[in-house]
Amino acid sequence: MPIACVLRSSLLTVSLVLPLTEALSAQPAAAEPAAQHATIAIRAGRLLDVESGRVSTDQVILVRDGRIQAVGPNLKAPEDSSLIDLSKQTVLPGLIDCHTHLADLADSEPLSLLRKSAVETAYAAIPNARLTLMAGFTTVRDVGVYRAFNDVAMRDAIANGIIAGPRMYVAGAYVTISEGAGAMTGLPPDIQLPLDYRFGVANSPWEVRQKIRELAHRGADHIKILTTGAVLTHGSNPKSIEFTPEEIQAAVDEANNFGLRVEAHAHAAEGIKNAIRAGVASIEHATLIDDEGIALAKKRGTYLDMDIYDEECIQSSASMPADFLQHDRDLAEAQRQNFTKAVRAGVKMTFGTDAGVCPHGINARQFAFMVKYGMTPLQAIQAATVNAADLIGHPELFGSLRAGKSADIIAVAGDPLTDIRVLENVAFVMKEGTVYKQDGRPLR
């Protein structure tokens, strides 16, 4: 197994990855995408151009070596091409979720993680990646793990063909204040957490810079900071302000030194505005954003990544801790109304679900809520394609179907521009030229 990617991450990650890769590399037929050689010709009955909103009929997409070679009508494929017939379906780019937690356990109680070793956690998280890919999400921005660098390990395992999953861009760890929104809280003060559970704790501008330097060195693709309290953190107040403006500015400046973007978890209005003024790329949740914050986000070009569906999962959970339920009841409807205000104001928006709060693989259920609360179906799809690709920083690689881009392609029965819920049942998934799902059935 190539170990170059593993060496980038910490000794914690190495100890996690090696048993995982040794066990899984013995099963290449189940996990490794087939090598790409011949051209694949995809016949699309309806092809959605997510940038313009135009739908073209009877189109052909030529794919070779994981890339789109050409898109258009009546394209002549080489004689050795294989044909994929999607002539009765709508074809569009692979979807992108900008707020996931694939590498953590999907458990309503964060303290449950303490009952498992790093390797147990890694094995238990493997299905999260596959479920997400089979739902049509070929790329995710994974925005933090309690156990530092589990996400780096999962990203590299997917990239090396060890397990099936979406292309991942990962944070490495939460950067948070002591006992803050991204910390493992709720334990007695005399219990000392292992380093990987407190890796990102920082309490001054210079400590913030130190953490970001270490995260950059160990393989983070972006930086996640938490500027207010949280809903799903014991002892937290989502309306509280955590990092100071000086600490947030240090985070953005230091991340920029390494070519990394910063996303800020923020519920409270002032915490949102502090982060926007400092130059973060996106605000996660943006629950209590006020009119000034909306105007500021529009002026600065800051993306809002608002997870307006997951309240359904939180309130219906039989195991959700009582304090988490109370936090959520106080905020959920306000977030949805502010989502509507932001859409009407023309703020840049992306698609982010906080997957892990809801079960992995049902990400697309949020589309209907985005439409219900003010977006057109096209705007909701753009949030999960071109806008998401722009926020992550790789619009040249994915987000639309253009020659030269990665062959990340999905198909659905029906028309998502008239019924957005058809995206909840993706029939075909191709990622980087490899077919993972066809006719509604997983192939890998």
The answer for residues whose C-beta is within 8 angstroms of residue 102's C-beta and 6 or more apart is: 125, 128, 129, 132, 140, 142, 151, 154, 165, 166, 168, 355, 356, 360
In-domain check, residue 226: yes
Nearest one of 131, 116, 136, 119 to 163, comparing CA atoms:
131
**What is the CB neighbour count within 10 angstroms for residue 317?**
15
Q: Is residue 81 pLDDT above 60, yes or no?
A: yes
- Quick one: average pLDDT of 218-227? 98
- Quick one: average pLDDT of 188-216? 93
In-domain check, residue 21: no
In-domain check, residue 29: no
Q: Is residue 2 pLDDT above 60, yes or no?
A: no
In a shared domain, residues 175 and 324: yes
In-domain check, residue 301: yes
- Quick one: average pLDDT of 319-348? 86
* DSSP H/E element including 56: strand 55-64
Range of weakest confidence among 4-18, 34-48, 71-85, 412-426:
4-18
> How confident is residue 16, by pLDDT bands cut at 50, 70 and 90?
very low
- Quick one: average pLDDT of 293-314? 94
CATH of the domain at 352: 3.20.20.140
Exposure letters 114-127 (e unless 16+ CB within 10 A, then b): eeeebeebbbebbb
Tokens representing residue 35 in the block: 């090598």
Instruction: Tell me what pLDDT residue 331 has.
Output: 86
Range of weakest confidence among 3-17, 92-106, 306-320, 380-394:
3-17
> How confident is residue 93, by pLDDT bands cut at 50, 70 and 90?
very high
In-domain check, residue 280: yes
pTM of the predicted model as reported, rounded to 2 decimal places: 0.89
Range of weakest confidence among 191-205, 248-262, 337-351:
191-205
In-domain check, residue 35: no
In a shared domain, residues 59 and 204: no
In a shared domain, residues 79 and 130: no
Compute the distance between CA of residue 383 and CA of residue 336 in angstroms, rounded to an integer.
Answer: 16
Instruction: Tell me what pLDDT residue 239 has.
Output: 87
Instruction: Tell me what pLDDT residue 3 has.
Output: 39
The number of folded domains in the chain is: 2
Instruction: Tell me what pLDDT residue 98 has.
Output: 98
pLDDT digits (tens, 9 = 90+) for 27-78: 333 334 444 568 999 999 999 999 999 999 999 999 999 999 999 998 988 8
Range of weakest confidence among 92-101, 115-124, 275-284:
115-124
Q: Is residue 87 pLDDT above 50, yes or no?
A: yes
In-domain check, residue 129: yes
- Quick one: average pLDDT of 252-259? 98
Range of weakest confidence among 23-37, 95-109, 256-270, 340-354:
23-37
In a shared domain, residues 272 and 209: yes
Compute the distance between CA of residue 347 and CA of residue 300 in angstroms, rounded to an integer.
Answer: 10
In a shared domain, residues 162 and 221: yes
In a shared domain, residues 90 and 182: no
Instruction: Tell me what pLDDT residue 15 has.
Output: 39
Domain extent at residue 258: 95-392
Nearest one of 277, 266, 276 to 303, comparing CA atoms:
276
The answer for residues whose C-beta is within 8 angstroms of residue 24's C-beta and 6 or more apart is: 31, 157, 162, 163
- Quick one: average pLDDT of 377-401? 98
Instruction: Tell me what pLDDT residue 4 has.
Output: 42
Instruction: Tell me what pLDDT residue 22 has.
Output: 39
In a shared domain, residues 336 and 403: no
In a shared domain, residues 386 and 419: no
CATH of the domain at 427: 2.30.40.10
- What is the rounded average pLDDT for all residues in the chain? 89
Q: Is residue 318 pLDDT above 70, yes or no?
A: no
In a shared domain, residues 326 and 360: yes
> How confident is residue 236, by pLDDT bands cut at 50, 70 and 90?
confident
Nearest one of 323, 332, 282 to 304, comparing CA atoms:
282
Tokens representing residue 379 in the block: 């705007």
In a shared domain, residues 280 and 385: yes
Residue of 20 and 409 predicted with greater confidence: 409
Instruction: Tell me what pLDDT residue 13 has.
Output: 40
What is the strand order of the sheet 67-72 is part of?
67-72, 55-64, 40-48, 82-93, 409-412, 426-431, 434-438, 441-442
In-domain check, residue 119: yes
Q: What percent of the chain has pLDDT over 90?
A: 72
Tokens representing residue 106 in the block: 């999907």
In a shared domain, residues 218 and 184: yes
In a shared domain, residues 54 and 179: no
